[in-house]
Amino acid sequence: MSRAHDAGRRRFLKIFGTATGALVVGLPALAWTPDELLGQNLIALNPYLRIEPDGTTVIGARDPEVGQGIRTAEARIIAEELDADWNKVVVAPLDLGVSGVNGEPHWTYGHQTASGSTSVPAAWNDLRTVGAAARQLLLRAAAQRWNTDAASLRTLRGVVIAADGRKLGYGELAEAASKLKPATTRPALKMPSQYLLVGQDAGDVDARDIVSGRQHYAIDEWFGDTRVAVITRCPYPGGKLAHLDDSAALKLKGVDKVMTIPPPDPARTLGTQQLAAGVAVLARDTWTALQAVAKLDVRWQPGSLGAQGDDALAAAAATALAGEPSKAVRSDGDFGEADKHARHHFKAEYRFATVAHADLEPPNALVKVDGQRAIIIAPVQNPRATFDTVQRLTGLAPDKIEIKLPRAGGGFGRFLETDYVAEAVMLAKAAGKPIKLMWTRTDAFAHDTYRPFSIHAMQACADRKRQLTGWSHRIASTSRLAGREPRERWWLSEIHPDDLPAGLVDNLQYAWYALESALPRGTYRASSHGVNAFAMECFLDEVAHGLKQDALKFRLALLGEPRKLPYRGHGGPVLDTGRLSWVLQLAADAVGWSKQRTRGQGFGLACHFTFGGYVAHAIQMSMQGKRLVIHNVVCAADLGRVVNPLGARAALVGATLDAFSTALRQRITVKDGRIVQRGFKDYPLATMAEMPHDVQVILVPSQEDPTGAFAMGFPSAAPALANAVFDATGKRVRQMPIWPELLRLL
């Protein structure tokens, strides 16, 4: 990051800024690129691309990097079409691109978010053109120089080459190219057979800075004259301050101020969600602030709706599931009738604990606000939501709000929220000084936006030929959309009407039942796919076992002949059953599914369609006493064309391990109306010793457009593990966390 910016200041000739900016001015009506993509602001702000006289090619990465490898993937996409020399590419993160048009925000760069594995598909759609348009200009500049026809020229790794073998580097042509009027037609894109970068491995562009400790995350940034703020928050959802004596805290040297954050006002949401009431200490440094917070004499009054633990929610779910659904999501045929006439009946209930994000970088924000301007440096997954929060709190015009997008120490959905940014902005405004807000680990556990608790009532039936004739999946959950969206939309985040086996079973019903909870909830990796796939894939395993069918053959038969089913929602418009069967088959083969099994070795399979990607896991494990040992993990994935296989593998392996870690032992519990967990000691993330040494990743070659990768490896990993546990032990674990339940059953 720093290198790129220094280089820019040192000897930046404004080359493609003008060129690409003008490119779009001539083409506002064309549908092939969003007009915000290459807006004129590019000239003044960060361009996607600039080439310096020495050939250094600076590529701006627009989406927030949270460990999904987007900076690398995005730069590779642009560099590919530019035909750049990757060794000369420097990647610089872009800020949120926003300007004001009649007071309304206008987004300069189009897609700028790290959510739902959408960044790579969006970049594939938008950003190839950026590289290709720049390459066209370089070709024309060379043609002018040599007084020849641009069509007779070609490019290779940062060099334009004439038919007679003469060469000019991009750096030598950049200035001339910047003065050309861009073409008015869409530049031709490369044929896949011409790709030199896309489909090849590339290490993370920030790797060197990270291993050197030079990479700055938001938590590592400072402004001059900054005050560090630490907040002690009301532990009871919706509660308020009952008593405060700050005299001891204020006596500490280096403490500036004690300020209060008001209790939530339902009429006014300050962040993406309600803020907890709090008392903030502003001090010269973190240690002083932490000590002062410990010296606050503070008591809290619980809110009207106390926080409920999972057991209370489970009781509420039992009542809810016995009644009418809040939303009948899907009903094909008649499940009740099918069940009545079926030969085989299956019924089970799955339960998923509330879990926390536990990103290694806790929420934090560095904020500077004066009457003229606001600068925000925070871990951010959804820059527009952050912008919206800052604008509501400051009333500043869009172009006066600067949202920086530093690399974030994780994301997983936590940084889609803006509560910590809202807190910092409020404090900075009131204090009149830049604020560096630090959350402690305990704060992060106590005030997360948790993955919703849910109970899944599963039912299935089969005929005498052991064919599935009916399937019912009913979910009672504390929707994360409650309190954010109108009630009739709450089901949308909890269950997907076209998830399998919809379309494969004649009589099928999906329904959702609302559960109330005072705990804040939010998006968690892979959204509700992370739990729904577990219920679906484990129950399918139960059914296959009950019907004395091989779990692989049963699944393949159910998926049937390859065909495209309609899929509304993220990842659609179609779900190709053939692509899912194929990854399932690949994973099963690689784990040795059909081979002779050794006694005590458990094998498990699962597959899922997530956000357009098809992934299957196959696992071999065994119980060694009271230890669960995972011997072999295969993750087969069809993610369309893979831009950076090294990055995609990292994402899939990481998601697999993260899924194991989350499923095995993680859970948030509530006692006396407040969260029990205070740190990693009572919220155990898996350690190296507990995790498999490797995950064998199989990437299916594909000509389809890329789907992204970060969420996809998550949903099928945990059910494959639970299915393997059943195979090894005969114990069916129908809960997350798996581990305590397995110990109970064994």
Partner 1 sequence: MQRTTIVPQPIRKGIDVSINGKHFRHTGDPDLPLLWYLRDELRLTGCKYGCDDKSCGACSVLVNGKLKRACAVPMAKLVDADITTVEGLAGPDGSLHPVQQAWVDEDAILCGYCQPGQIMAAVDLLARKPDPGDADIDRIANLCRCGSYPRIRRAIHRAAQILQGKPK
Interface residues with partner 1 (CB under 8 A) are 66-67, 69, 203-204, 206-208, 210-217, 219-220, 222, 228, 285-287, 358-362, 407-412, 438, 440-442, 646-647, 650, 653-658, 661, 679-681, 685, 687-689, 691-695
Q: How far is the CB of 358 from partner 1 (least distance, A)?
A: 6
Are 21 and 40 spatial neighbours (Cβ–Cβ below 8 Å)? yes
| Shortest distance, position 214 Cβ to partner 1, whole Å | 7
Mutual angle of helices 717-729 and 529-546, in 10-degree steps:
30
Q: How far is the CB of 650 from partner 1 (least distance, A)?
A: 6
Residues whose CB is less than 8 angstroms from the CB of residue 627 and which lie 6 or more positions away in sequence, other chains included: none
* Nearest partner of 677 among 661, 689, 665, judged by Cα: 665
**What is the closest distance, in whole angstroms, from the C-beta atom of residue 65 to partner 1 in the complex?**
8
Give the long-range contacts of residues 621-624, CB within 8 A, separation 24 or more.
621/721, 621/724, 621/725, 621/728, 622/728, 623/725, 623/728, 623/729, 623/746
Name the minimum Å distance from CB 381 to partner 1: 12
Nearer to partner 1, 290 or 397 (CB): 290
Q: How far is the CB of 95 from partner 1 (least distance, A)?
A: 20
Residue 215 or 585: which CB sits closer to partner 1?
A: 215
Instruction: Tell me the residue type at 642.
Output: V
The phi and psi torsions of 501 (rounded to 5 degrees) equal: -90, 25
**Would you say 382 or 577 has its CB closer to partner 1?**
382
Q: Are 11 and 53 a contacting pair, CB within 8 Å?
A: yes
For residue 590, the minimal CB distance to partner 1 (Å) is 16
Choose between 79 and 228: whose C-beta lies nearer to partner 1: 228
The torsion of the CA quartet 215, 217, 223, 224, rounded to 10 degrees, works out to: -50
**Residue 627 beta carbon to partner 1: minimum distance, rounded to whole angstroms:** 12
For 187, the token pair is 């530049």
Residue 18: CB minimum distance to partner 1, A: 35
Positive or negative torsion for Cα 444, 654, 208, 206: negative
Instruction: Name the minimum Å distance from CB 212 to partner 1.
Output: 6
In the complex with partner 1, the residue whose CB is nearer, 440 or 581, is 440
d(CA 124, CA 70): 12
Q: Which two tokens stand for residue 547?
A: 């019907």
Report the nearest approach of partner 1 to the CB of residue 267 (Å). 35
Which residue shows structure tokens 């807000």?
437
Helix, strand, coil percentages (3-state) for the chain, rounded to 5, are 35, 25, 40
Nearer to partner 1, 178 or 677 (CB): 677
Exposed/middle/buried for residue 267 (C-beta within 10 Å: 0-12, 13-18, 19+): exposed
Q: Looking at beta carbons only, is 285 or 311 nearer to partner 1?
A: 285
- Nearest CA to 621 among 733, 506, 490? 733
Kindly state the smallest distance separating residue 363's Cβ from partner 1, in Å: 12
Q: How far is the CB of 33 from partner 1 (least distance, A)?
A: 31
Is the Cβ–Cβ distance between 98 and 107 less than 8 Å?
Answer: yes
Pick 17 or 409: Cβ nearer partner 1: 409
Per the CB < 8 A criterion, the answer to whether 664 and 738 are in contact is: yes
3-state SS of 664-709 is: HHCCCCEECCEECCCCCCCCCCCCHHHCCCCCEEEECCCCCCCCCC
CA atoms within 13 A on the CB side of 178: 19
Integer Cα distance of 366 and 356 in angstroms: 23
Instruction: Rank residues 31 and 688 by Cβ distance to partner 1 and give the closer one.
Output: 688
Instruction: Extract the tokens encoding 10.
Output: 């040192």
The label of the residue with tokens 């010793």 reads 689
DSSP assignment of 354-405 equals -B----SS--EEEEEE-SS-EEEE---S-HHHHHHHHHHHH---GGGEEEE-
Of 1 and 82, which has the nearer Cβ to partner 1? 1
Which lies closer to partner 1 via its Cβ, residue 293 or residue 508? 293
Nearer to partner 1, 423 or 690 (CB): 690
Q: Which is nearer to partner 1, 217 or 726 (CB)?
A: 217
Can you tell me the distance from the alpha carbon of 355 to that of 362, in angstroms, rounded to the nearest whole number?
Answer: 16
Rank residues 291 and 702 by Cβ distance to partner 1 and give the closer one. Answer: 291
Nearer to partner 1, 661 or 735 (CB): 661
Q: Which amino acid is at 79?
A: A
Closest distance between partner 1 and the C-beta of residue 298, in Å? 19
* DSSP symbols for 197-231: STTS----TTHHHHHHT-PPBGGG---TTPEEEEE
Rounded to 10°, the helix 645-665/738-745 angle is: 50
- Minimum distance, C-beta of residue 708 to partner 1, in the bound complex (Å): 15
Instruction: Specify the residue, 44 or 629, whose C-beta has the smaller distance to partner 1.
Output: 629
* Residue number, 69 or 171, with CB nearest to partner 1: 69
d(CA 530, CA 535): 9
- Taking the complex as a whole, the smallest distance from the CB of residue 4 to partner 1 amounts, in Å, to 17
Q: Decide: 42 and 17 in contact? Cβ < 8 Å.
A: yes
Q: How far is the CB of 440 from partner 1 (least distance, A)?
A: 6
